[in-house]
Amino acid sequence: MAKVSPGEFVNQVKTEASKIVWPTGRETVMTAVMVGIMTSLLGIFFFGIDTFFGAVVQWLLSFAAGRA
């Protein structure tokens, strides 16, 4: 890796920072809404799966204890 003077480093950082394309406000809001929707759907899905498997385990435990 080549050594660069502090002034050259600052110039390179400024050049690279000028290439950044920031999202618009609308894009930010749409992304936030999509993240909220997807996390809600995944939360509901995993809650359902957990509930189902919890019921299966409870049934198996009661079956094994001879109370079925």
Sign, CA dihedral 9-13-15-16, equals positive
CA dihedral 50, 52, 54, 55 (to 10 degrees): 160
Q: Which residue, 46, 42, 66, 43, is CA-closest to 54?
A: 46
**Contacts of residue 62, Cβ cutoff 8 Å, sequence gap at least 6:** 68
Return d(Cα 50, Cα 45) in angstroms, integer. Answer: 9
Tens digit of each residue's pLDDT (9 = 90 or more) over 14-66: 999 999 999 999 999 999 999 999 999 999 999 999 999 999 999 999 989 88
pTM for the structure as a whole:
0.64
